[in-house]
Structure 1
Amino acid sequence: MSANEAIPDENELDGAAAEWLFEREAGFTPERKREFAAWCASDPRHAEAVTRIERTLELLNDLPTVRAPLEERLGGAAGKTDSAANRPLLRFPVIGLAAAAVLALAFVSWWSLRSSGHPEEHYTADATAQRTLALSDGSVLDLNTGSEVKVKFTASERRITLQKGEAHFQVSHNPNRPFIVTAGDVSVRAVGTAFDVRLAKEAVKVVVVEGKVQLSRALSNAAPSARETPPLLRSGEVAQIVLNAVAAAPKIEQIDAGSISALLTWQNPMTSFTDVPLRDVIARFNRRNVTQLLLEDADLGERKIGGMIALDQVEAFVRLLEQDGDVVADRTQAGRIALRRAR
């Protein structure tokens, strides 16, 4: 990873993923099957692109009103003998797979925006690597391995559903758009804070690193009685909430900084970043290390970072930023490294 390394264009990745998928549909040889698996494992963005194209094709299959104009635009994919209603997946022409994949995604995105106004996004981390994502509101989402979330932001609220596993949230402050995480029947409401949510088989665990959050049951059409006040969880507190047990109060305890760090050890130092602002990457480094990184240039903090980064290697990361000559590091203060643009 280089701080200035060009991240492959998403359209290029979608095109490559589409070619793999259409080859797979035609029938992989054992060797090509291994090569495809290796390609998916070589970069988390490859697997994302495959998932994106698969979902697009599935959605097109379920939405003939979207698929019909797209097929017309593509010139009658796969011939006239198969009826559009009976084909399990849209087959694009062999020539122009990349363009077809991008066009399909554009159609589906347009349809989703027209239908809902606020499309839902889906993110996963496989069993081999965690993921760090910069959300559209400036919040940062860390996904533990084997975890899965849905994200839906509207003008009035930011809502995330933890479907599986564990996630850490560093929430951008906005009192007019509450940030709500739902896991099972438990909801965690924040305005601007940092907290961790883990969904297990029988309970949800919430750890507050900074600020405070409000806990409640995610029950639709259920209004709390006048004497019920959703409990507040403050910095340094951890709550255990039994799932599907409305009458059971959450078990809350105060823990020290060392215990919080122990609970968050899943945040492996080797983390994959995808277009995350430098300021948020620095925040991750500062949570893990004694040596603190300081940004002396606000514009530099907006610089996008991508790739696999070892969060316990502060000096190596700083040298990587310096190597292209446009970032200068000041190490004159003990325990601190100040970063600014070269003049």
Structure 2
Amino acid sequence: MTQDTLSEAEYDAITDAAAHWCMRLHAADCTDDERRAFEHWHEAHPLHAFEYEAMLEIWDVAEHLPRPEPALATPIRQAPRSWRQYTVAASVCALALPLAAFTGWNLGWLPDSYQHFTATDNVRQVTLSDGSQLELNLNTDLTFSNYKDERRVTLKKGEAFFTVSHDTSHPFVVRAGEGKIRVTGTRFNVWMYEDQVRVNLIEGSVLVTSNSALPGDGLRLGPAMQARYKHGDYMPQISQTHPGDTSLTWRSGKLVLDNLALNDALPLINRYLDKPLMLADSSTGSIRIGGIYNVKELHNLANSLPKVLPVYLTRNKEGNPVINPMPQQPPKN
């Protein structure tokens, strides 16, 4: 195999190897020797890394495909493999064979288009293959898959503002955390940090569920309404947004903290930080903070906190800055 030109057989061999390593590294019984062998293979040729990343994209799509029905006949005993591993292998074949891909599309198993977008240091505007417009906040990662029965975005982390192309027969679904947001055409914002999700509706209507495994389409939001949920919530919390709501100021590069308790402010701040701020104890979370901040400069916020709040900073063993309340002065006699 040469560095400059690969034969079709050599290219196919790399694709097969990438599929093999993708399945092995996600297997529970993957050994340390196998992981070392993968690292050696991964570094051996630039195309190995490229094909492996492409295979991870397929693995991502396969996560939401229907699980296969159990076979009626007793199968020959083999080493156990997850449904998702079989799906990845099937997806590789389907993407390589137009007829299989067409069949997978008609069955609603495979998308006819797949897009992956990230935004790191700047707000990014993107257009999906269905014509929908998205604005991605800093440190955002999402994918879009166009299936026969629905358009599907998976928000892996971060925040995005959606202007969805209207199509009542082809719903648009955003998966964020354990829940999902279902629309046909509207404008809304989805923010996610760790297991917390917040949905703000600007125009149209959406259905929000806090757990996509639960039956039903969830609760309906109208304009100027907000939904919040986190891990374990049976239903999202619904509220009205006030006229001075500042949750969308990120689109102009600002984070506005309107006299928020640190408990509420830190998730908004931490999603921009490599090392999230921590609280020394629960009482520290009641200290309030306000101000307007440039989202690109929030890494400087930690060092400035002792100048504006009655706190001091320490570091935990992971290197995270920890906010501690200043000890109160004893009363003078």
TM-score bracket, normalised by the shorter chain, equals 0.3 to 0.5
TM-score by length of 1: 0.44
Higher-RCO chain (CA-CA 8 Å, sequence separation at least 6): 1
